[in-house]
Structure formats: structure tokens, C-alpha cells
Structure 1
């Protein structure tokens, strides 16, 4: 029997598991293939929903569905935490119990971790919308914020959903205008490199739009300490910035499990960017944010990567030479206000072209957010 084990119940893990059951249905039904998904959360979370929570447009409950409801019943679902990977013995160790789980093909899809504690004072002095609790706390803070300096600071790269920080300030600008508060609120957007976004074409598009909306842009701005009492950001460059409400994109980190298994010194799984196969082990793959590939840490990337890995594993199970390759395809909607958006699509070696924002694209994004649950099931 061929044993396929997937670690992680995010977009990459779910899409992969469901695609595999579709591609390998005859082998699974015959008992020749067994697919297991191990995740430490019984709920699947669609993280892009959290962008809308601070503005009262969505709730945390809207972002969650039970993993069991989204997974093909042919997949063996195990709610547990993986605490060890032995690529020599081809086993994983789980937290709940002394048993190990063997595999013939292993896919790591654990995502990225938020590590706000890496910046002293950030947990106490800043808000974020990259998780359920953070989004709700920011919603409450915004509800009573009527004047002062609102700062959105991107602290370190890479981070999940690279367009989200720009989306937030554009939405905040529009949201405040609708409430007659924009004149009493100063908006600042900071980014750690010498432009407004990691991708040059997006930075070139966003910079004049930020200026037009009277959103102050600070580049090469790298916070190293937050003083919550004084409400001051101190940077590595020796600068200080006062704020009244700080919305920070916290530092992100890979996974200690990856380091311990020798799959990536920095916690991200080192993979071939086209095959998604680990460079330091055989029969190991990575999809989603945990994979070290030169493109965005975005849900669409995990989706496309999962489809490629499903094809490659199915080919190997059947004794065929895998031919599917990931070309870096990324599709990303970018909200430019409360009722307009644009979108970009690109792949390795090609800069995205930013279209003119429109209400149609905004509603298309909201429509996709509702249809996402079909994507997680592998139906789109």
C-alpha cells in the first residue's frame, strides 16, 4: 500500500488531499493507496476573511468551517500535532500518543507562524488582522478611533498575503471618509525596503495612489522596538515615529519542525521551485507558505502548488514519470477601497500588470470569498 501523509489543514493541505482522492480514486477504493491528513485544528480557516473583520464587514465565524466538512471522506483525518519528522525512516511523530505514522510520500503544508514577540513591545502596543483574535481586537479599536495618527507598518518580509497591508490602508482611508473622520486622522504606511511593495510594478502603481489618498509613505522603515506607553515606534535606522493606533504586520517565521528535520535551516522547506520536492530529502514535498519558493505567500499559490503536487504524486504511485510543474502562478485581488478593487496575475520571471480598479472586480473578489469553500473541497 502507498501511504500519502499531508501535514496541515490549510488551503494547500485541503486542496491537495481532495485532488488526490479524485485522481487516485480507483487505487484508494481498492485499498492500494491510503491518504492521511494530520492537522492540529479541527477548523479550516480562510484567512483573507480577516481583512474585512476590522471594518465590520465579516466576522471571525465567517472564516471558519470544520475540516471534516471540507474533506473527502476517503481521506483519513487525524486531529493531532506533528512534533517530529524522520525523513530517513519515513515517519512522523505525533504529540498525542507514542505511535509514529509511516509514509511513502510526505507533504508539509503547515503554513507560516506569526512571531510578534521578536519585536519588543509589539504584542502590547500594536494590532494586526492576521488572525482571529487580532482582527477582533482591531475592530474594537477602530470603532472608537476618531482622531490621531493611524500607522500601518509592515515589519519584515516575507509575510502572508503581500497585498493585504496596502488593501488595509486603502480600505481604512475610504472607511474613515465615509464616516466623516478622514480630516481628523493621519494615515501612514511603512514598508521595510526602498519601495511600497516587494514587487516593483505593484509599488509603482501603489505609490501615486497613496499620495492621491493623502496616505503618507515611509520606505526602508524597520521597527525594532515599540514603546506602548509612549506610543512610539523605534527603528533600526535610528528613527522614531509617534502613533495613536498601530496596525502592524507581525514578523513571520517558518517552523522548528522543518529545522529539526534538516529540511530548511531557516524554518522554510527548501524545495525545487518547479516540482515542490524537498531538496534535502526524497519523497517529501512542501506546498503553501512553508515552501521556500520565489513568489508570494498567498492562498492562490498554495492552490496551484497543491494541484501540481497531486499530479506528481499520482504519477509516482502509478509508476509513471511525473511531468507536472509549478510555474509560480499567482492570482491576487487587491481592494482599493470599500467598494473597488483590482487584481494581478503573474508567474516566475514576470512582473504583474495592475488593472484599473473597479466595482466589478471588488464584487468578484467578494464572490470568490463565498465560493472559496468549493475551492477547498477541490471543486474549483
Structure 2
């Protein structure tokens, strides 16, 4: 009996476990998923919670989303011993493996920024990437009577890099609908030199921020939060005051990755960017947000890379070469308010371009253009997530990025 242990039951871990359960014979393989939490969170849905969005189907029991035949073990991971091929849990249990998949993702670490995590945490300082944080922020927005609202990103990489922009656009719409937009100053603070990491998309998104009269503070590397003065302080001594701070703290991989000597300075596992195989240990793979891939830490990357990974893994364990090559494909809906959204589609080598997706000129979705169809596409993804992506079913979109329907933008093109 060969043993596959998957650490983490998030999007990547669950999807891969379910796909491999269908590919690996039960009489030859034991598949174990380890996670510290009992419920799976639909993280894209947290974006809408602070604005009174639908709370249904945000949580499902982890056992419910894993196929029969997969062993689910609830526990906290202490350390991996690659030489002994063992995983040690904090309660003292030891799991032996033949192959290990690390899928423990990335998480917010407000404790890494001086002054952020203190008495004002979830009073005047909030986050929205966590379940509890999203609901606390909903109450804060409802009670806000005016002043300066700052949406702030500590550093890259972060989970779903477009989410802070989406949150900013939805915040602008929220106050406008309440008839108090003129009482709120909105500021978007980023460590980047523009609205986004890719130049063409950054230009489009920057125009949308300008149109909505949202100020942008770029190249801001926060050194500390002065919670008493309600001020962000950068390393170059710039200061930005706030009445309500919505921050995206530093994101880091799991602590056990560092304790096991498997990660970089942010606890992400260095892997081959095409196969997701650890550069240090051939029997270890890191998927989803847990690795150091030079692309977005997004659910779409977990989805597209899992298609390549599963085929490669099944070949690898049979002694064959891994011929599949993940190209860094990512796509993301970007909510812009007013029932509209943008869509971006890119990979390692090609930045987001305008055009139509996924059927070329037939669309039906538009790239780098606000449409209602894109907004409905994002809302429909919740059903797709629970009923197709997590169960490991193939989605009707190309795994590898296609140039079909894309074109280079004219400098005068407007979003």
C-alpha cells in the first residue's frame, strides 16, 4: 500500500485529493488529507460580506467536500522530516508517507507589522481575508459616519492580488449608495508603483480609480502602524492618516514549512514552476498558494495547475517522465461596483490583454472591460466552485492560457 499525504484541505488540497482519488486504485493507495479546521471556507465570498452580501454557502464541512475513500485527519502540523518521510503533528502523532503534497496555502500575519495587531485590531484597523474579519468589518462599515478610509496592502505576494482593488471599488459604491460619498475620502495604498503588478492592467485599473476619485499612494512600504495617532508610517518616513484602516497584512506560508527547512524567507516551498515538484526533495510537491510560483496566489492558479499536476503525478509514480508543463495560467474577475466587473487572463509570459474570453470573438466574457456579464460570471462561480472545481471535475475553460480572442491594446483604448 503506497501512502499519499496531502497537508491542507483548502482549494488546491481538496481539488487534488478528489482528482487523485479517481485516478489512484484504492487497493493500492491510501490518501490522507490533514487540516486543522473542520470546515472549508469559500474565500471569494468573503469579499461581499462587509457590504451585506449573501452569507449562504460560505462554509461546508470538510468531510462533505472530500470523496469517499479519502481519510480526513484533523490536526496541527508541527514538522516534516523529509529524510524519514514523516509528518509530525503537534499532538505527537506521526504520519508516514511515500509522497507528500504541501497545500497549506498562505495566511495573513498582522503580527509581522509593528503596531498593527493591538487594541485597535478590528476596531479602527480591519481585514477582510478571514471569516471573522469580514464580519467584523461589516459592522464597522455600517457604523462609519465619515472620514478617511484607507485600503492598504503591506507587501506582495498576497492571496488574490486583485481583491484589495475590488474591495476599494465596492467600498466606493457602498458609500455612494448610502448618500455619503462626499463625506468619505478613499485612499488606496500599495507597495507597487501602480494599481496592479502588470503594466497594461495597471493602466486600466488606475483609470477606474481616478474616475471614482479614489486617491492612490504608490511605492508605500509600511514600517509600522501608529494606532494611537491612526497613522501608517513608511520606511521613507511618509505618513498616511486614517479614520478606518482596511489592511491586507503580510502574507506568509505555514510555520511548519520553516521549521522543516522546506521554505524560503516567507515560508513558501521552492518548486519547479512547471511541475510543482520540490527543488530539494523529489517525493514532495507543493501546490496552490504554498509554493513560490512567480504568478498570482489565486484560486484559478490552484485550479489550472492541479490539472497539470495530477496528470504529471500519475505518470511520476509509475516511473514515467512528467511531460505536463504548467504555464502560470491565471484569470480573475475584478468587481468594480455597479453590478459590473473586469476579467483578466494571463500567465508567466503574457500579461493581461484586452479581448474576449474564452471563445475568442464569441466571448461571452470581456477582458479588461467592465461588463455585467463579468459580474454575473463572478457570482456564478460560487456554484461552480462547490459543484465542479472542488469535486475535481474538469471545467469548460482551457487549462493552458490561450491567445485566442486577445489583442494588444492601443494606447488610446479606454476601459
Q: How high is the TM-score relative to the length of structure 2?
A: 0.87
The answer to whether the 8 A contact 1:285-1:309 is kept is no
Instruction: Specify the SS of the correspondent of 2:333.
Output: strand
Report how far residue 364 of structure 1 moved.
1.1
Q: How does 1:186-225 map to 2 (within 5 A)?
A: 186-225=185-224
Query: Does the CA contact (< 8 Å) of 1:50 and 1:58 recur in 2?
Result: no
Q: Tell me the distance in 1 between the aligned counterparts of 2:322 and 2:305.
A: 14
**SS of residue in 1 equivalent to 2:197:** coil
Q: Distance in 2 between matches of 1:152 and 1:176?
A: 14
Question: What does residue 358 of structure 2 align with?
Answer: none
Within the candidate set 343, 355, 368, 1:355 is matched to 368
Distance in 2 (alpha carbons) for counterparts of 1:281 and 1:305:
19
Residue 181 (structure 1) aligns with: 180
Deviation at 1:46, TM superposition (A): 1.5
- SS of equivalent to 1:335: strand
Answer yes or no: is 1:378 the counterpart of 2:396: no
Question: How far, CA to CA, are the matches of 1:159 and 1:58 in structure 2?
Answer: 24
- How far off is 1:58 after superposition? 2.8
What's the TM-score, normalizing by structure 1? 0.95
Mapped contact 2:10–2:104 kept (Cα < 8 A): yes
State the alpha-carbon separation in 2 of the partners of residues 249 and 103 from structure 1: 35
For residues 281-320 of structure 1, what are the structure 2 equivalents within 5 Å?
281-320=281-320
Following superposition, the deviation at residue 130 of structure 1 comes to 0.7
In structure 2, the residue matched to 1:44 is 40
Per the alignment, in what secondary structure is the counterpart of residue 62 of structure 1?
A: coil
Asked if the contact 1:105–1:313 (Cα under 8 Å) also holds between the matched residues in 2, the reply is: no
Determine helix, strand or coil for the equivalent of 1:21. helix
State the match for 2:89 in structure 1.
94
- TM-superposition CA deviations, 1:299-352 (whole Å, max 9, x none): 111122222222122112333332222111111110011410011111111101
- Tell me whether 1:85 sits opposite 2:80 in the alignment: yes
Show the counterpart of 1:11: 11
**Contact 2:43–2:58 (8 Å) recurs in 1:** yes
Report the Cα distance in structure 2 between the residues aligned to 1:193 and 1:237, rounded to whole angstroms.
15
Unpaired segments of 5 or more residues in structure 2?
354-366, 396-415
Query: After superposition, where does 1:162-181 map in structure 2 within 5 Å?
Result: 162-181=161-180
With a CA cutoff of 8 Å and minimum separation of 6, indicate the structure with the bigger relative contact order.
1
1:126 deviates by: 1.4
Secondary structure of the corresponding residue to residue 201 of structure 2: helix
CA distance in 1 between partners of 2:60 and 2:227 (Å): 35
Question: Which residues in structure 2 correspond to 1:61-210 (within 5 Å)?
Answer: 62-96=57-91, 98-123=92-117, 124=120, 125-210=124-209
Check the 8 A contact 1:9/1:109 in 2, yes or no: yes
**Structure 1 counterpart of 2:399:** none
More helix by share: 1
Q: State the alpha-carbon separation in 2 of the partners of residues 116 and 338 from structure 1.
A: 31
How far apart are residue 355 of structure 1 and its match?
A: 2.4
CA distance in 2, matches of 1:74, 1:320: 26
Shift of 1:255: 2.4
Alignment check: 8 A CA contact 1:305 1:326 kept: yes
| Corresponding residue number in structure 1 for 2:226 | 227
Aligned counterpart, 2:29: 33
Aligned to 1:239: 238
Given that 2:204 and 2:368 are in contact with CA atoms closer than 8 Å, whether structure 1 keeps it comes out as no
Distance 1:323 1:315 in 2: 8
Separation (CA, whole Å) in 1 of partners of 2:276 and 2:71: 23
- Unaligned segments of structure 1, at least 5 residues: none
Deviations 1:227-255 (A, max 9, x none): 22321111112111111111111111122
Counterparts of 1:91 and 1:163, CA distance in 2: 37
SS in 2 for 1:233: strand
CA distance in 1, matches of 2:390, 2:338: 26
1:108 and 1:100 map into 2 onto residues whose CA distance is: 16
